[in-house]
Structure 1
């Protein structure tokens, strides 16, 4: 029979020694005691080891000196948790080797430890891929092309998905399963899975099409059917668009690849067109002066493309004379466009006030034709309306 530590010494009595050597289930009692003590010690030491790793992370000089380095981004994640667990799991493996756990219990014990180890290693690799994504995003931001700005998040998500899938397969392999035969067996249901995943596959190919064709970029203002907003994210399955009322629309990439996309963000100039209605009583000379002064005021705005300015009297409407005001602005964003447009429209109001030009509103003039005093006729009509209606 195998001996345990301190056996044959004066540390334990004969009765206690016999108790320790007595086999309970599949192991002697002393192995159970050492194993349980090791497990309890591991759970007790884990917060301490985690705190030590956290202090090392906080006081890392490389991360402080290089704020956009891989280590700086990597240490932003809670890496102290998986690192502490990996240290404890390695200690539990060492206890297993030291006391020589045998039988099926050893197999199950090692499977559990391997599963925990694999989970936390995958977690660290996952954080590493995320940190690499931040590093490449910083590099892509410095280039003139925006295609790499779209490609980096897509590649990061792809790598993270591969890390999870491959890590899970490696954990299964460590459990003694033949992963290749398992995948071959799953191939029998591949056709049914492919039919069920048609939409997913279509969206995935739509994502690839968007990245290759590059019809829009992050931050562009786009219109798709009746949907309109700013592109926030291009994912595996869908594209997220922030609308102008601050909600988020999730559009499947398969739809984005098929529909007509109106990219408002690539316009070199933005057209402003407005019909200003003035009263019919406005004298012709005043109309001409009003148009000339508005045209001059618009051309003074630095963001206006001067050769596109049009301010002319161009039509007769039911209740107003139409003045066409049209020009183009050289701006980059929607808020900037609205700000410049507002400034110009306020200047038009000021010019109209100075020239006493009245803006028209829908009106209707009623002309009365007839001889004599209209009041008796009105009274007669009222009396006719007040006659009782016969009932039958």
Structure 2
């Protein structure tokens, strides 16, 4: 190593023949086992790299923005990849290449060179994994587009799940390869981890249960993305099915995160699977309403609902069924074809407004809670 250093130093200082002998002696003086000129080369290379990285990132961004392939094929892999911020990891990858060259030019001592090389290699590996992460994201977008074109809803759920799986594999395999490149025996490391396998299994049993629960959900398909489901006292629209949990958007716009182990073993009421949705409503009218008007009102409401194209006419029932405290109750029951909860509410509103119009045409007063108080006068003789 010393002969190599002397040859490189000779090459460097032959080009710097304008320096005085005292200056050359200062440059050759060792600080922490490294000559000063090598420290200067290292620091200059590191600082220069950090200064030019924003420029490299800006150039890559401009090249990305003017890419004709992405503009011509907006749904392609390259279009999705270039839409991500890949210029950031790419600029760091180019910068680490410069730092490798600087370390080689400085010809560091063996031990120091090993540490420097490992540091730059770890930096390179991190941003390479980051770039591959973006690549998997773009592949996932292509999968999602393909799944959206098919009639099956199974692939719509598998696409995001497969994307997440590939991302985990990229990170795990990337870390293992980095450890292997640093000289660690990965197989021995994994075998050593097996000694604590029992403790790890006990600690990760909930995670494993959730993972198997997510697989069960994807294979059994009790619900899919966008379905309206009820699990115990939780209700809402399925927004995401992940490794560990399922996210449900409630009707008051919050998000409930339910572990997949629970989703796999609990009773799931899939409201989205209903071809028809039952509408059941009690309408109260005033006690003063004549019987013939009650009959006419029931007949007209029954006829109007049956004429609706989204209503199953065989399930329509409109009948006077209860003497309530302050009203005569008419039960209205029918089944409505609706794909979403909002569609159900919109059409239900239309039908209810029509019922109000029929009542108005017949001069029927709809009841509200009332109470009649009878007061009896008490004479003087009764007071004694």
Question: What TM-score do you get using the length of structure 1 for normalisation?
Answer: 0.91
**How far apart, in 1, do the equivalents of 2:75 and 2:226 lie?**
23
- State yes or no: 1:376 paired with 2:376: no
Equivalent in the alignment of 1:259:
266
Structure-1 separation of matches of 2:46 and 2:113: 15
**Distance in 1, Cα, partners of 2:216 & 2:306:** 43
The equivalent position to 2:206 in structure 1, one of 199, 209, 234, is 199
How far apart, in 2, do the equivalents of 1:191 and 1:123 lie?
Answer: 32
Greater Rg by CA: 1
Q: Deviations over 1:264-321 (max 9, x none)?
A: 0011111111122223332222111111111222233322222322222234344433
Instruction: Please say if residues 303 and 330 of structure 1, whose CA atoms lie closer than 8 Å, have aligned partners that are also in contact.
Output: yes
Residues 263-272 or 38-47, more deviating: 38-47
Q: 1:113 aligns with which of 114, 120, 123?
A: 120
Residue equivalent to 1:389:
none
The 1:4–1:32 alpha-carbon spacing in structure 2 relative to 1, beyond 3 Å, is farther
Do 1:238 and 1:252's aligned partners in 2 also have CA atoms closer than 8 Å? yes
| Mapped partners of 1:320, 1:141: distance in 2 | 52
Would you say how many aligned residue pairs link Structure 1 and Structure 2? Answer: 377
CA deviations 1:243-283 (Å, max 9, x no partner) are 11111111111111111000000111111111222233322
1:22 is the counterpart of 2:25: no
Q: Distance in 2 between matches of 1:36 and 1:311?
A: 87
Stretches of structure 2 that go unaligned for 5 or more consecutive residues are: 1-5
SS in structure 1 at match of 2:235: strand
2:156 corresponds to: 149
1:350 Cα offset (Å):
1.5
Alignment of 1:178-217 (within 5 A): 178-217=185-224
Distance 1:108 1:350 in 2: 84
Give 1:202 deviation, angstroms. Answer: 0.7
Alpha-carbon deviations, 1:63-120, whole Å to 9, x = none?
1111111111111222111111111111111222233222211010001000000000
Question: What is the aligned counterpart of 1:61 among 47, 68, 72?
Answer: 68
| Distance across 1 between alignment mates of 2:14 and 2:382 | 131
Indicate if the aligned counterparts of 1:280 and 1:320 stay in contact, CA closer than 8 A: yes
1:1-392 correspondence to structure 2 within 5 Å: 1-2=6-7, 3-7=10-14, 10-363=17-370, 374-376=377-379, 381=383
Alignment deviations for residues 173-206 of structure 1 (CA, whole Å, 9 cap, x no partner): 2221111111111111110111111111111110
Q: Counterpart in 1 of 2:3?
A: none
* Residue pair 1:26, 1:103 contacting (<8 A) in 2 also: no
CA deviation profile, 1:125-156 (whole Å, cap 9, x unmatched): 00101111111011101111111111111111
Runs of 5+ consecutive residues of structure 1 not aligned to the other structure? 385-392
Separation in structure 2 between the aligned mates of residue 306 and residue 67 of structure 1, nearest angstrom: 47
SS at match of 1:54: helix
Normalization by structure 2: what TM-score?
0.93
Residue 302 of structure 1 aligns to a residue in which SS?
coil
1:23: how far off?
3.1
Give the aligned CA root-mean-square deviation in angstroms. 2.0
Deviation of 1:380 (Å)? 5.1
Cα displacement (A) at 1:161: 1.1
User: Contact 1:4 / 1:30 at 8 angstroms: preserved in 2?
Assistant: no
Cα distance 1:8–1:115, how it changes in 2: closer, same or farther (>3 A)?
closer
Question: Secondary structure of 2:319's match?
Answer: strand
For residues 244 and 8 of structure 1, the distance between their equivalents in structure 2, rounded to whole angstroms, comes to 75
Per the TM alignment, residue 53 of structure 1 is displaced from its structure 2 partner at its CA by 0.8
Query: After TM superposition, which residue ranges in structure 1, 4 or more long, deviate above 6 angstroms?
Result: 366-369
1:281 counterpart SS class:
coil
Distance 2:114 2:145 in 1: 47
Distance in 2 (alpha carbons) for counterparts of 1:82 and 1:335: 44
